[in-house]
A and B are shown apart, each in its own frame.
Chain A
Amino acid sequence: MAECHPVGFQWVMEAKARGATVIHVDPRYTRTSALCDIHVPIRVGSDIAFLGGIINYVIEHEAYFRDYVVAFTNGPSIVTEEYRDTEDLDGVFSGLDPERRRYDPHSWQCEGVPVTAAPGQGEQETDTPTGQRAAADRTVTPAAADGTVTPAAADCDETLEHPRCVFQIVKRHFARYTPEMVEQVCGVPRELFLAVCRAMAENSGRERTTAIAYAVGWTQHSVGVQYIRTAAILQLLLGNIGRPGGGILALRGHASIQGSTDIPTLYNLLPGYLPMPQAQRDQDLEAFVAAASAEKGIWGDARSFVVSLLKAWWGSHATEENAYCFDYLPRLTGGHSTYETVMTQLDGECKGYFLVGENPAVGSANAKMQRLGMANLDWLVVRDFSLIESATWWKDGPEIETGEMRTEDIATEVFFFPAAAHTEKNGSFTNTQRMLQWHHAAVEPAGDARSDLWFYYHLGRIIREKLSGSTDEMDRPLLDLQWEYPTEGPAGEPSAEAVLAEINGWDAEGRPLVSFKNLRDDGSTACGCWIYCGVHADGVNQAARRKPGSEQSWVAPEWGWAWPANRRILYNRASADRQGRPWSERKAYVWWDEQEAKWVGHDIADFDPSRPPWHRPPADAKGAEALAGDDAFIMQADGKGWLYVPTGLADGPLPAHYEPQDSPFPNLLYPHQQRNPVREVFPRRHNRYHPDPDTDGSEVFPYMLTTYRLTEHHTAGGMSRWLPYLSELQPEMFCEISPELAEERGLEHNGWATIVTARGAIEARVMVTDRVPPIVVQGRVLHQIGLPYHWGPNGYTRGDAANELAHISLDPNSHIPEVKAMTGDIRPGRRPRGPALNALLEDYVRRAGITPDTGTEVRSGA
């Protein structure tokens, strides 16, 4: 965090100054390690084993926050008799279909409470008939005045004793994650591990809270979503969600990567985490709404969100008679993620490509396949500040050097459009805390540089003009689109605030909406993104609020605007107990005020402000109205935080440690299941995987590789390698290795090394350092090699891209590649030039005995 989010790290140091214990778990020693209390070097790719070990410790030592678990989690829920755990099935869950490489999740449901995943949380194909989804009502008897709670209904067990209750399943599932196992799998000595366990357990409960912060490298694993799930289980058990000083904090790496997820430039989502329609399921609005809704919770109002979005996009053309133009939405058939798109480019099915502040020729996994895909396009648009590698690969890319491609053979037409900077345009970023902050244009962009708002507005305007008069049905969504925005200034810049006003939405009279609670499903409201509703309340740009932090409370609610409804901590109802009293005075955040008969506190309650803690909804209540006074997790279909995920995940209701796609070690926890059985693999010529551990050829790639950022550079370098200051601060690509590895392979500090995988070979300066210590895993010394991934061949500071080494093997939930844990080889000297580079790769592939099938199995040799 001190490296990649240094200014955010000041708050960690503030906490430390107030007595907090700072624990840093990272294979490399960084500026964060230098300032922490406990640094834990860990084997890359083993975090589920590590966190699972803490879960086991917390349960074994009864250190979980029992009252919180009973009140706010699904720990008491009873799981169906059909469910089989990894404990029963030798490392996989029930429902695995090896032929289709997917799970059928039906057996994972809880009894009496079949629930749907929140939209956007899961996209697995489901055959569940709509009628099977029922309200998930715990029917908990109101608490007595003395705070005791009477036993609940048959479908949950608040004693947490029922053998099929979630808590007991979790307990059994993690029982094998012992300190000894953690030591063997993660390479973390038992005493060090137990110190972390004790620190977390002692610092959680009524009086204290513990936060887990992760950088999104956690997502870059074939089990990435389950990494975060493991953290969620731990934090729910310890009562650290929805409370001040708690949480699981994703430290995201781009100024508005949160915003671009909320208002998604993502294939599977519509604004506000509504799903994109799927062809198999969502042929009409009613079916779509049924799939997107939950009987209970905020998603119960999904129809209002959808209809209001369609009204924002197609205005008066969207009527009740035509189902609000629902048919204008294109439908998905399976996955269409950026990596799957590269495959369609290689296959000649995708011919036009926009790159908008992205540099996949350097920044995406398997950079070679990115370039080969682009070489197969009809046209490519690159919008950026400078001539990044993704703009120039056709004349000076690595494949030109090796002779694999010749410029004159490449038919791709390339457009480079210079982009405007943040100082040259109005607009909002959403930071990693869900907070929208407005930046104001200071100057006009020079020359032909333009904002992306300008580019897309005018591109749409020109396309609509060219198609005007068309009677072709395929053009109706374009011609009926609401695309009138006021423009201003010499360049005809569209008004960003007018766009924000549309995102916020308005009522039938055109008045700005105040809250998503105002949204209606009858076409009387329009709203471009329901979770952002309120950001333009009263016609005021709430994201531009800048009351100085020194002049307001520590929560600083008048700086910017956080979705939803300017709430700064999500699920903060859980900061008070079932009866609405703060768990402790020290950790009071929001609470029920008897006199005022409403939720009050330091933040806006993430709850109906007037719903008392003892409220029990009528049996026929739906949506938000069906939430009880202690259903703190208002987005969940049962109102509870999920220790166990009955639906919505592709790879199991609980996390299980699987080894990375490429790993030098067998899976000690599940000896008969090496890898995530439903990870997404792409056995293509340029995407070969490494052999299984302890099989012939595996010794060719004996080391683990991981990639990371440096303070002085930014992702694929487009915003840093062209800056003299930053280039001087970090002038060259390098690899970090231990003195022991340097000795073993004859590598010299400041000399050159070549790092090799079956996908690519890159060169880097050698940095011999104690910062990446060798660790002992399964009785063997393991060397880990650290690789910053910022470099590419262009800019002021140049070097090979680490992503040349990465394969494409994706997490089945998020479709994110596993670039944080790979295997490879390292050798002294610079890499070969020209055709000799590929000859080197071919030699490695041959020696390792790699075939197209290598590493693609579903079930290991059970």
Chain B
Amino acid sequence: MGIGEWPVLRQVTGTDTTGRGRAVKSRRTDGLRSRIADADQVVKSVCPYCAVGCGQNVYVRNGRVVQIEGDPDSPISRGRLCPKGSASLQLTTGEARRFEVLHRRPHAADWEVLDLGTAMDVLADRVIETRRRYWQWEHGGKRVRRTMGIASLGGATLDNEENYLMKKLYTALGAIQIENQARI
């Protein structure tokens, strides 16, 4: 480091006489860029945690999410996020996320990786079989047209459109034990 880079020299010779700005900035700091500076896309989103519904700006670079920040435009949140919302980059891109379908056979000691297409096909067979085996046309002498063999729990973390398809499909299957966090 040359003598010209001494902060104190810059402070006494430059304009930053109080030493709180450029005079004391290191070369490394000077080279730092904001994580969102290079984003090639800002996608509008909503925090996935609680029901306040804070606005999020999702910053994308080269097809990857690089940062998630509060959306200052939101009249709900005015750019703020809580610790959970601020951690949603880690929620969405963290190492704990799984990307493979896992299957545990009855009585097995561990998981096996299963192909997604196969898993969907097998599951469809399970649904059809269980629905049929536990089908009820009548209960207590009244027509019920349903299956009591299939239940579902979840929806509060999902989108409205997802809940809609769930309720529509389950109802057509005759499954009635469809529930979510609102009852927990």
B53 near A381 with CB under 8 A, answer no
CA A258 to CA B157, docked complex, whole Å: 10
B152 near A255 with CB under 8 A, answer no
| Distance (whole angstroms) from the CB of A818 to the closest CB of chain B | 12
CA A407 to CA B152, docked complex, whole Å: 24
B46-74, CB under 8 A of A: which get 1 and which 0? 11111111111010100111001000111
CA A7 to CA B100, docked complex, whole Å: 35
Does A750 interact with chain B (Cβ within 8 Å)? Answer: no
**With contacts A266-B182, A442-B41 known, is A431 near B51, CB below 8 A?**
yes
A459 near B127 with CB under 8 A, answer yes
Contact partner of A723 (CB less than 8 A), chosen from B87, B126, B175, B178, is B87
Does B15 interact with chain A (Cβ within 8 Å)? Answer: no
A–B pairs, 15, beta carbons within 8 Å: A270-B167, A338-B153, A338-B183, A350-B149, A352-B150, A356-B166, A394-B104, A413-B126, A415-B104, A428-B160, A440-B44, A451-B159, A453-B162, A499-B165, A550-B73
| Distance (whole angstroms) from the CB of B161 to the closest CB of chain A | 4
B82 near A6 with CB under 8 A, answer yes
Does A21 interact with chain B (Cβ within 8 Å)? Answer: no
A260 near B82 with CB under 8 A, answer no
The 10 closest A-B pairs by CB, nearest first: A447-B99, A549-B75, A427-B159, A356-B154, A431-B53, A265-B155, A330-B146, A254-B156, A260-B155, A722-B96
Give the chain A neighbours of B167 by CB distance below 8 A: 263-265, 270-271
Does B3 interact with chain A (Cβ within 8 Å)? Answer: no
Interface residues of A in 711-748 (CB under 8 A from B): 711-715, 719-720, 722-726, 729
Count the A residues whose beta carbon is within 8 Å of the partner chain — how many?
161
CA A602 to CA B41, docked complex, whole Å: 35
A496 near B161 with CB under 8 A, answer yes
Does A378 interact with chain B (Cβ within 8 Å)? Answer: yes
Which stretch (A416-424, A512-520, A646-654) binds chain B? A416-424
Does A441 interact with chain B (Cβ within 8 Å)? Answer: yes
**Size bracket of the B interface:** 35 or more
A267-B178, A546-B74 known; 13 other A-B pairs, CB under 8 Å? A256-B156, A260-B156, A341-B151, A357-B157, A417-B101, A421-B92, A427-B160, A439-B44, A441-B43, A448-B99, A456-B165, A467-B128, A712-B83
Does B20 interact with chain A (Cβ within 8 Å)? Answer: no
A355-388, CB under 8 A of B: which get 1 and which 0? 1111010011100000000000011010101110
A354 near B83 with CB under 8 A, answer no
Contact partner of B74 (CB less than 8 A), chosen from A252, A356, A549, A814, is A549
Contact partner of B45 (CB less than 8 A), chosen from A350, A415, A422, A722, is A422
**With contacts A6-B82, A413-B105, A431-B51 known, is A418 near B153, CB below 8 A?**
no
Give the chain B neighbours of A345 by CB distance below 8 A: 151
Which stretch (B21-29, B30-38, B108-116) binds chain A? B108-116
Give the chain B neighbours of A546 by CB distance below 8 A: 44, 55, 73-74
A7-22, CB under 8 A of B: which get 1 and which 0? 1101000000000000
Contact partner of B156 (CB less than 8 A), chosen from A357, A436, A481, is A357
Chain A, residue nearest B70 (CB): A7
Chain B, residue nearest A278 (CB): B142
A305-334, CB under 8 A of B: which get 1 and which 0? 000000001000000000000011111110
Give the chain A neighbours of B180 by CB distance below 8 A: 257, 260-261, 264-266, 358
Give the chain A neighbours of B49 by CB distance below 8 A: 254-255, 714, 719
Does B171 interact with chain A (Cβ within 8 Å)? Answer: yes
B146 near A416 with CB under 8 A, answer no
Does A670 interact with chain B (Cβ within 8 Å)? Answer: no
Contact partner of B176 (CB less than 8 A), chosen from A267, A352, A719, is A267
